[in-house]
Structure 1
Amino acid sequence: MEKLLIIDDDKGIQKQLKWSLSDYEVILADDRESAVAAVRRHEPKVITLDLGLPPDEANASEGLAALDEILAIAPHTKVIVITGNDDRSNALKAITAGAYDFYQKPIDSDVINVIVSRAFSLAIIEEENRRMRSVAGSDIGIIGNSESIDRLRTMIKRIAPTEITALILGESGTGKEVTASAVHLASGRKKKPFVAINCASIPENLLESELFGFEKGAFTGAHRTTKGKIECAEGGTLFLDEIGDMPFSLQAKLLRFLQEKKIERLGGRQEISVDVRVVCATNQNLEEMVAEKTFREDLYYRVSEITLNIPPLRDRDEDVLILAQYFLQRYALDYKRNIKGFSDDALSAIKSHRWPGNIRELQNKVKSSVIMAPGTQVNAIDLGFFDHVDQGIELSLNLRQVREEAETIAIQKAYALSEGNMSKAAELLGVARPTLYSLIEKYGLPINIE
C-alpha cells in the first residue's frame, strides 16, 4: 500500500481525508516540524498540504515554508496544496514554488481521490523513468547493468573526451549506432551534429559522393554543389557503420581524410579542412579481411585506435529483462496502451530465448506485443512465443469458449508471423480477408484493420 502524508492541523479535516483516502497508508502531521520529520522517515510519494499551519493558521506563510522544506528534502514528491475558497492567490504561489496541484475546500471524496490517484500514477512513472535513466548510464543510452555493459560504459566515458578513432565491434542488432551516439553524447561535441551513414546500404558508385560531396557538373545530374556527410558533421561526430563493406577503391581516400582532416569534393580541386570525430563499426572480422587483402591494413590500424566490443544479448544475463521492461514502458506510452508488465510465461520466454537478432529483435517483439496485448499484461503469445504458453491455465469444457480461444491464438500467431500484413495473415489462416476482419472485430482483438 502506498504511503500518503496528510499535513493539516484540523483534526476534523484529517479524519475526513483519512476516511476518503482509505486506499492508501495514511500518515498524519499537524505542523511544519512534524511534517518534515514524516517526510524524512516515511518518504511518501504524495502529500496533501494545508497552507494554514500553526503558528500562522490565518495566513499561508507557514504552509509555504513547509512546502519549500519538503521539496528541498524530496524534490520528486507530489505535493497537493489544499486551500480555502478565497485563497487562490496563495495556491498559485504554491504551484510556482513546485507544488503538483491544488484543491479548494470543501473536501469532496471523489474529486480528491482522482487528484491523489493521478499524483501517485505520475510519481510512479517518473520514478521508473529515473531508474531507467540511471541504468542507461547517465542518459547516454546504454541500458543494462551487467558486468560487460558496465565495462563498455566505463570505456565510453574514458575515450569520449579524446579525439581517438574508435572501432565498434558486435553482431547485427547489438546497438552499435547507439554506442557510437553514446560516445558523441559523452564528448564535448554533443551540441554539434551526429551524422551516421551505413556503408553497406549505399551503392558503391554513390558512396563516394555521399561521403565527400560533389561540385556542380561533377557528373550527369550534379546540378548544384552539395556537401557530403563528412562536411555535414562539422564540429560533431561522423559514424561510419558497416565500414567492412566499404569498397576497396574508396578506402584510400577515407584514410587520407582520417590522417589529414581534409577532403576534396567529387569533381573539385580545392582541399577543405574539416573538424570531425570519427567512430566506425562493423560485424565483420576486419583482421581476416586484411589477411585476404579486401580491407587495407593501414586503414584498419587507423580506424581501430581503440576497439569497443559489444556483447550479444544472450551473454548479458539479466539485461534482457531490463531492456524488455524499458521498451514496454516506452511503447506503452507511445501507443497510449495501459500495459503494466509481463506475465510469468512471457518472462520465461524472454529469458530462455537466444535472441539471434539481439536488441533489435527484442525491441521489435516488445513493440508488437504492446499493440497486440488485449489486457494489461503482455503474455508469451503477444510476444510471438507460442511454445511458452502457460500450461497451468485450466482448459474450458465449453466448446464455444474453446473455439474462441483457439481462433484468437491462431489469429494472433498469423498476425505476428506475417509482421502485420493482413493479406499474408489471411492466407496463413486459409480464410478470406473479409472473414479475418470479421473475426478480429468479433473477438475485439487490438489489431488495426484499416
Structure 2
Amino acid sequence: MEERTVIIVDDEPGHRLMVRAVLEDDGWTVLDADSGERALTVLAEAAEADVRPGVALVDMKMPGMDGMQLLKELQIRRPGMPVVLLTAFGSVGSAVDAMKKGAFDYLTKPADNDELTAVMGKAFEYHKLVRENARLKAEVSGDVKFIGASPGVERVRQLMAQAGPTEATVLILGQSGTGKELVAEGLHRASNRADRPLIKVNCAALPDDLLESELFGYEKGAFTGAVKDKPGRFQLADGGTLFLDEIGEMPAALQAKLLRALQEKTVEPLGSVKTVKVDVRIIAATNRDLKKEVAAGRFREDLYYRLAVLEIRIPPLCERKEDLPLLVSFLLRRLGNKNNKIIRTVTPAFLDALSGYDWPGNVRELENVLERALILSRSDALGTDLLPPQITGAREANQNMSLDMNGEMPDLLTSRSQATPASLEEAERLAILRALEENGNHRERTAEALGISRRTLQYKLKKFGLTRR
C-alpha cells in the first residue's frame, strides 16, 4: 500500500509530532523515526506488512546517520521515492546541494503548514508519475527484471541495486543472449537520470567510419554525403545514459577517441574544430574477455580501467538451470499473450529435456525454442515432440550417461512418473518453496530473489495454499 503514506525522520520529538499532526489532518498515513538508522528499520518492518511510503520527509542534521547519508541509502533501497529535506534557515545551501544529488525539495524548520502540505502533495504526485512511467515501460518492454532465484542472478540484482543510483561507469560481462541490455536498462531506470534518454549503440553492428560519426556526430561538409549537421549519440544522451553494447568490437583508433571523451566529458564532431561538453553516464557491455584482449594488445588498458569501475557478470543459462521452471513459466505466459495462445501444461520429459541441454544461446535461445513449441502445439500442453533435435538429443545423451553412472535418471523438479503431466504451476510452487526456505520465510527477500513483486508473491502463496508458512 502506497496511497498517501509518508515516513517522517526527525530527531526533534516536538517538531516531528507537529508535522505528523499536520499531515494526518491532510489525509496522510504517517510513519515516523527519530534517526536514519531507525528509519531503515521502520521501512523494513512496514514492507513486511506490504506498506511502502511514497514520500520521505527527512531532517538534514541528525546524530549518527544524517539526512544526506539517509538520502543515499534510500536512493539504493527505494529508487524513485522522492525525499523532501528539512533544514535550518542557515543551512539552505546544503539543502540546495542535496537537491542536485537527488532530493526532491526542501523545507526550512519550523515548517509552515500550508507549504508543508503543498510540497508533500507535489512530491507524492511526482512519485505516482514515476511509478506509472515505470509500469508503462515495463509493459512495452515485456520484462523489467531478471527472473530467477539462483545465487548468480541474486548477485546481479544486488550489484544493480548498488550501482544503479550512482554515477559509476559499469561494464557488463556475459555471453550473447544472457540479458546484458536488460541490465543496462535496469541501471538507467534506477539512476537519477531515469527521466533522461537511454541511448543504445551496438559497436559490432556498424562499420568503423560509421560508428565514429554515430558516436560523435558531424558537421555539414565533413565528408561526402554530410549535407547537414548531425548530433552524435553522446549529444543525444546528454543528461542521460549511453549504452555501448559489444564494446570489445570497437577499433583501436576509436578507442582512443572514446577514452578522451570519457576523461574530458567533451566530444568533437567530425569536421569541427570545436568541442561540445556532454554530461553522460557510460554503461558498456561485451561478450569478450577484455583482460585477455588487453593482454593481446587489441583493447586499450587505460580504457578498460576507465570502463570497469564496476563489473557485473551475468551467468550463462547453463550455470543457473535451477531457474528454468521460473523462466519457462514466465516466458510461456508472455509468449502466449503475444501469440494469443494459452499453454497450461508441460510434460516432465519436456522440462527434463530443457534441463539436459547446455543452452549456448542462453535465455534468447530458450525463448525462441518455447515460442516455436507454442506455435506448433495443437493443445494446451507441450511435449518433447515439439522440441528441436539438438535438445532432445542432448536429453537422451544425458539419460544414458546418468544411467551408466548411478542407474537413475536426473529430474528437474521432483521424482515423478513420466506419464504424468507436470503443470507450470507445479514448477512455480516448488521454486517458491525453495526460495522461501533459502530466505528464512522472509517474504520481501523471497520476492526479490524470485524477481517478482511482493504483491505477486502474496498472490501466488495464496494460490498455492502456502500462506500459513
- The letter for the 1-side match of 2:337 is L
1:233 aligns with 2:220: no
- The letter for the 2-side match of 1:183 is L
Cα distance change of structure 1 residues 276 and 305 upon mapping to structure 2, 3 Å threshold: same
Deviation at 1:392, TM superposition (A): 6.5
Deviation at 1:168, TM superposition (A): 0.7
Deviation at 1:178, TM superposition (A): 0.9
Which residue of the other structure, out of 346, 353, 356, is the alignment partner of 2:357? 353
1:369 aligns with 2:373: yes
Which residue of the other structure, out of 160, 164, 167, is the alignment partner of 1:160? 164
Deviation at 1:258, TM superposition (A): 0.8
- The letter for the 2-side match of 1:355 is W
1:146 aligns with 2:145: no
Deviations 1:48-91 (A, max 9, x none): xxxxxxxxxxxxxxxxxxxxxxxxx999xxxxxxxxxxxxxxxx
**Which SS does the other structure have where 1:172 is aligned?**
coil
Structure-to-structure mapping, 1:187-226, within 5 angstroms: 187-226=191-230
Contact 1:243 1:281 in 2 (8 A): yes
**Rounded Cα–Cα distance in structure 2 between residues aligned with 1:368 and 1:226:** 42
Which residue of the other structure, out of 270, 275, 282, is the alignment partner of 2:274? 270
- The letter for the 2-side match of 1:381 is D
What does residue 306 of structure 1 align with?
Answer: 310
Deviations 1:346-399 (A, max 9, x none): 111111111111111111111222211110012222232444699977xxxxxx
Cα distance change of structure 1 residues 158 and 74 upon mapping to structure 2, 3 Å threshold: closer
Identity of aligned residues (%): 45
TM-score under structure 2 normalisation?
0.53
Contact 2:349 2:418 in 1 (8 A): no
What does residue 287 of structure 2 align with?
Answer: 283
Deviation at 1:299, TM superposition (A): 0.4
Contact 1:312 1:358 in 2 (8 A): yes
Contact 2:219 2:226 in 1 (8 A): yes
**Rounded Cα–Cα distance in structure 2 between residues aligned with 1:150 and 1:281:** 19
**Rounded Cα–Cα distance in structure 1 between residues aligned with 2:392 and 2:353:** 9
Structure-to-structure mapping, 1:318-357, within 5 angstroms: 318-357=322-361
**Which SS does the other structure have where 1:187 is aligned?**
coil
**Rounded Cα–Cα distance in structure 1 between residues aligned with 2:50 and 2:192:** 32
Deviations 1:167-211 (A, max 9, x none): 111111111111111111111212221111111111112110011
**Rounded Cα–Cα distance in structure 2 between residues aligned with 1:382 and 1:169:** 33
Deviations 1:97-149 (A, max 9, x none): xxxxxxxxxxxxxxxxxxxxxxxxxxxxxxxxx9xx9xxxxx74222111111
1:172 aligns with 2:176: yes
**Rounded Cα–Cα distance in structure 1 between residues aligned with 2:305 and 2:418:** 57
- The letter for the 2-side match of 1:339 is I
What does residue 257 of structure 2 align with?
Answer: 253
Cα distance change of structure 1 residues 375 and 259 upon mapping to structure 2, 3 Å threshold: same
Which residue of the other structure, out of 170, 177, 189, is the alignment partner of 1:185? 189
- The letter for the 2-side match of 1:354 is D
**Rounded Cα–Cα distance in structure 1 between residues aligned with 2:292 and 2:224:** 38
**Rounded Cα–Cα distance in structure 2 between residues aligned with 1:341 and 1:392:** 14
What does residue 299 of structure 2 align with?
Answer: 295
**Rounded Cα–Cα distance in structure 1 between residues aligned with 2:386 and 2:199:** 36
**Rounded Cα–Cα distance in structure 2 between residues aligned with 1:162 and 1:74:** 27
**Which SS does the other structure have where 1:319 is aligned?**
helix
**Rounded Cα–Cα distance in structure 2 between residues aligned with 1:354 and 1:216:** 51
Contact 1:169 1:283 in 2 (8 A): yes
TM-score under structure 1 normalisation?
0.55
CA RMSD of aligned residues (A): 2.4
Cα distance change of structure 1 residues 312 and 386 upon mapping to structure 2, 3 Å threshold: closer
Q: Which has the higher contact order (CA 8 A, sep 6+)?
A: 2
Contact 2:353 2:392 in 1 (8 A): no
1:243 aligns with 2:247: yes
Cα distance change of structure 1 residues 245 and 319 upon mapping to structure 2, 3 Å threshold: same
**Rounded Cα–Cα distance in structure 2 between residues aligned with 1:74 and 1:316:** 30
- The letter for the 2-side match of 1:231 is Q
Contact 1:328 1:341 in 2 (8 A): no
Contact 2:268 2:274 in 1 (8 A): yes
**Which SS does the other structure have where 2:230 is aligned?**
coil
Deviation at 1:280, TM superposition (A): 0.6
Contact 1:140 1:186 in 2 (8 A): no
Which residue of the other structure, out of 311, 317, 321, is the alignment partner of 2:321? 317
- The letter for the 1-side match of 2:177 is G
**Rounded Cα–Cα distance in structure 2 between residues aligned with 1:233 and 1:370:** 39
Deviations 1:257-292 (A, max 9, x none): 111111111111221111111101111111121122
Runs of 5+ unmatched residues, structure 2: 1-48, 52-134, 400-416, 420-469
**Rounded Cα–Cα distance in structure 2 between residues aligned with 1:360 and 1:289:** 26
**Rounded Cα–Cα distance in structure 2 between residues aligned with 1:234 and 1:191:** 12
**Rounded Cα–Cα distance in structure 2 between residues aligned with 1:74 and 1:215:** 55
Q: Which moved more, 1:230-239 or 1:299-308?
A: 230-239
